[in-house]
Amino acid sequence: LEYRGYDSAGIATVSTRGLELVKRQGKLERLERALRVERPSGTTGLGHTRWATHGVPSDANAHPHLDCRRRIAVVHNGILENFTELKARLGRQGHRFRSQTDTELIAHLLEERYRGSLAASLRQVSRLLRGQYVIVAACADEPDLVVGIRQGPPLLVGAGKGENFLSSDIPALLPSTRRIQDLDDGMMAEIRPDGIRITDARGRRVPLKPQEITWSAAQAQKGDFETFMLKEIHEQPEALENTLTGRLDPAAFARELGLTSGRLKAFDRVHFVACGTAWHAALVGRHWMETVAGVPATAEIASEFRYADPILTKRSLVVAVTQSGETADTLAAVRLARERGAATLSICNVVGSSIPRASDGVLYTRAGPEIGVASTKAYTTQLMALMLLGTHLGRLRGRLPASRARHLLGQLRKSSEWVRRILSRPTDRALVAGLKRTRNVLFIGRHVNGATALEGALKLKEISYVHAEGYLGGELKHGPLAMIEKGLPVVAVLQDGPLFAKMLSHIQQVKARGGFIIAVASAGVRVPGADRILPIPAADPLLSPLLAIVPLQRFAYEMARARSRDIDHPRNLATSVTVE
Ligand code: M6R
C-alpha cells in the first residue's frame, strides 16, 4: 500500500526467535533491499507504509514499533490526541522510547496491560486512547495471532484459505483473497491462520460476512504503463462505460439508489459534501442538480461543512462524493447529516467502505481501483454518476422533459468514445517543453467549467509542483489580472453556448497584458487569441467538464514528467486521507 504513505516502511514477523523487525526510511524499495539481506522469518507478521504525523521520516520513526521487552509489535494509522499526557505517564513509569511517534506509546501501553491475551489488552488500551486510529498488533507469546481494532480509519478483514489478513485497503489483499469485510468503528478482529473472530465495542461476537470484491489483482498493477496515474487516465473510457452500464433504466436505477421515489421527490435542497478532486466533481454536480433537476444545491467542502452548523431538515439530501469512501472529513459530514435528520446518499468507488455504510443510499462509480495519488478516473466517473443522479431526479420531479433527458443520457453514452478519442491524440510535447520551467499557471473557466479550472490547477500542482490557481473567468478583473505578465500561461476552458463569448473576452483581457493562452475548446471552433488549442469533441456544454478535464490531466502529467517528478508519489500526499 505504498500509495498510502511512502516516507518510510517496515515489517515485523513473529518467528521462533521472537519478533524480527526491519524498517527503513524512504520508499518501499529501500525496505525490500534490506529484507533481501536481513531475511526475517515467520508466517505471522505486520507491515506498514508511513505518512508522517508525529516525528520526521526516519528508520526509528517507521512502524512497526515495539514495547520495551520487544515482545509486542504495533502498527497504527491515525493520530492519538492524548499523546502528550500518555507519553509523560509512560515515561514516569520507566518506559524507554526509541522513536518520536505516538504509535510507540501503544506498544508500551500493551506491555503494561498484557496478561496472556493480546486481544484483551488491546481492548483495554483502546479505552485509554483519544483520537482516530486503527491499530494492528502481534505478540511473540501468541505466535499465530494478529489483532486489529478500528476507531476511525479503515480496517478490512481478508478471508483466505488457511491464511487470513488485515489491511487498510483492498488492493493489498487482492493477490490473496477477494472475500473482504470492512470493520465498523469499535470493532476488533483476531486473525489466525484457521479463523477470524470479530467482536464489537462491547465484546459481543459479530458474524463474519465478507463481500466478494470484483476487482482483479491485475487491475491493481501498473501493467505496461510507466505509472499508475497514466494507466488510470487511459482506463477512463472503460470506467465510464462500466459506470453507465445498466443504469439507464429509471426503475432499476431507483432500486439501486436505495432511497424511495417518494423521498427523492420530497427533497427541497441538496448539499454535496466532498474533499479535493471529489469536491470539484461536486461543484459540477451542484450546477447539474439545479439546471437538470431544478433542486437548489450547494457543494461544500466536507472539512468545513462538519464544523459549520449546517441547516438540515428531513427534506435535505446530503450527497457525499468520495473515491475511497474513507475520507475522514467526508465521513464526519455524513454522520452529522444523519444526526440532523437529513437523508444521505454517497457516490463512491469502493464497495462496502465506510461512507456508503454510513449513508442511507449509495451509487457506486465502477472505476476499479485508483492507486495513483492524483485522482483521474475517479473524477470522470463521479461526474458520470452525478449526471445520472441529476437526470433521474429531474425526470422524477417532472422538471426534465423526456427529450432533454434522452439527449443528456445519449451524450453520456457517447462520452467514453469521446474520451477515447481525446486520448488517442498525441500529447503536445512541444507545448510542455516550452513551459516546463514556468513557475505559475492560471486556469480559468465559467459555470460548470469553473470546476474544470480548479481541477486542472490541482492536477498540475500536485504532481508537478508548479504553482497553479483555478479561477472563475468573471473574477479575473476582481484581482487575479494583477498576476498577468508577459508569457504567463493561462489555461482557458471554453464550452459552447452563451458563455463562450464571455470566455473570449477574458482571453482578450489576458492577451492585452501579454499572457500565453492555452485553450481547451471544441474541435474546429475558432478561439481568437489562443496560442495553443487542446481540442475536445463538441458535446453539450453542460457535459463538457467530463471531456475538458482529460487534456488537462495529460498536460499536468507531461509537465510533471518533463520536470522529472515522481508522479505516483507526489511529495507530502497520500491517496486516501483517513485522518482529519
Ligand atoms: O477518496 P476521496 O475521493 O474522498 O478523496 C478526497 C481527496 O483526498 C482526493 O480527491 C484528492 O484531492 C485527490 N486524490 C487529488 O488528486
Quick one: pLDDT at residue 132?
Answer: 87
Q: Which residues have a Cβ under 8 Å from the Cβ of 297 and sit 6 or more positions away?
A: 269, 270, 271, 272, 285, 286, 287, 289, 290
Instruction: Indicate if the pLDDT at residue 293 is higher than 80.
Output: yes
- Report, as an integer, the average pLDDT of 17-25: 95
Q: Which residues have a Cβ under 8 Å from the Cβ of 136 and sit 6 or more positions away?
A: 46, 74, 75, 76, 146, 147, 148, 155, 166
Tell me, using a 6 A CB cutoff, whether residue 344 lines ligand 1. Answer: no
* Residue 218 pLDDT class (50, 70, 90 cuts): confident
Tell me, in angstroms, the distance from the centre of ligand 1 to residue 466's CA.
19
Tell me, in angstroms, the distance from the centre of ligand 1 to residue 523's CA.
30
**% of residues, the chain, pLDDT over 70:** 99
Quick one: pLDDT at residue 465?
Answer: 96
Atom of ligand 1 nearest to the CA of 276: 12
Quick one: pLDDT at residue 572?
Answer: 78
Ligand 1 pocket mutation, candidates 227, 273, 275, criterion most atoms within 8 A of CB: 275
- How far is the C-alpha of 87 from the C-alpha of 93, rounded, in Å? 10
Tell me, in angstroms, the distance from the centre of ligand 1 to residue 185's CA.
22
Q: Per-residue pLDDT tens for 109-155? A: 999 999 999 999 999 999 999 998 999 999 999 999 999 999 988 99
Strand partners, 46: 12
Quick one: pLDDT at residue 320?
Answer: 98
Sign of CA dihedral 137, 140, 141, 146: positive
Ligand 1, atom 10: nearest CA belongs to which residue?
A: 277
Ligand 1, atom 11: nearest CA belongs to which residue?
A: 276
- How far is the C-alpha of 42 from the C-alpha of 65, rounded, in Å? 18
Least confident piece of the model among 244-253, 390-399, 507-516: 244-253
Instruction: Indicate if the pLDDT at residue 90 is higher than 90.
Output: yes
Quick one: pLDDT at residue 223?
Answer: 87
Between residues 577 and 422, the one the model is more confident about? 422
* DSSP per-residue string spanning 108-121: HHHHHH-SS-HHHH
Quick one: pLDDT at residue 52?
Answer: 82
Ligand 1, atom 4: nearest CA belongs to which residue?
A: 322
- How far is the C-alpha of 231 from the C-alpha of 376, rounded, in Å? 10
Contact 237, 423 (CB under 8 A): yes
Q: Per-residue pLDDT tens for 30-48? A: 999 999 999 999 999 999 9
Quick one: pLDDT at residue 249?
Answer: 87
* Residue 1 pLDDT class (50, 70, 90 cuts): confident
Q: Per-residue pLDDT tens for 99-118? A: 999 999 999 999 999 999 99
Quick one: pLDDT at residue 55?
Answer: 87
Tell me, in angstroms, the distance from the centre of ligand 1 to residue 29's CA.
25
Quick one: pLDDT at residue 196?
Answer: 97
Q: Per-residue pLDDT tens for 221-247? A: 888 999 999 999 999 999 999 999 999
Tell me, using a 6 A CB cutoff, whether residue 348 lines ligand 1. Answer: no
* Residue 259 pLDDT class (50, 70, 90 cuts): confident
Quick one: pLDDT at residue 261?
Answer: 87
Tell me, in angstroms, the distance from the centre of ligand 1 to residue 313's CA.
28
Per DSSP, 426 falls in state: P
Q: Per-residue pLDDT tens for 369-403? A: 999 999 999 999 999 999 999 999 999 999 999 99
- Report, as an integer, the average pLDDT of 455-459: 98
Q: Is the pTM of this model over 0.95?
A: no
Tell me, using a 6 A CB cutoff, whether residue 330 lines ligand 1. Answer: yes
- How far is the C-alpha of 415 from the C-alpha of 410, rounded, in Å? 9
- Report, as an integer, the average pLDDT of 341-360: 94
- Report, as an integer, the average pLDDT of 545-550: 98
Tell me, using a 6 A CB cutoff, whether residue 322 lines ligand 1. Answer: yes
Tell me, using a 6 A CB cutoff, whether residue 278 lines ligand 1. Answer: yes
Sequence letter at residue 494: L
Quick one: pLDDT at residue 364?
Answer: 96
Tell me, using a 6 A CB cutoff, whether residue 365 lines ligand 1. Answer: no
Ligand 1 pocket mutation, candidates 4, 347, 577, criterion most atoms within 8 A of CB: 577
Tell me, using a 6 A CB cutoff, whether residue 73 lines ligand 1. Answer: no
Ligand 1, atom 16: nearest CA belongs to which residue?
A: 374
Quick one: pLDDT at residue 466?
Answer: 97
Contact 89, 109 (CB under 8 A): no
Contact 443, 415 (CB under 8 A): no
Tell me, using a 6 A CB cutoff, whether residue 484 lines ligand 1. Answer: no
Tell me, in angstroms, the distance from the centre of ligand 1 to residue 276's CA.
5
Mean pLDDT of the chain: 94
Quick one: pLDDT at residue 251?
Answer: 86
- Report, as an integer, the average pLDDT of 436-458: 97
* DSSP per-residue string spanning 28-66: HHHHHHHHHHH----SEEEEEEE--SSS-S-TTTSSPEE
Between residues 255 and 134, the one the model is more confident about? 134
Tell me, using a 6 A CB cutoff, whether residue 552 lines ligand 1. Answer: no
Tell me, using a 6 A CB cutoff, whether residue 276 lines ligand 1. Answer: yes
Residue 22's φ and ψ, nearest 5 degrees, are -135, 125
Ligand 1 pocket mutation, candidates 354, 452, 576, criterion most atoms within 8 A of CB: 576
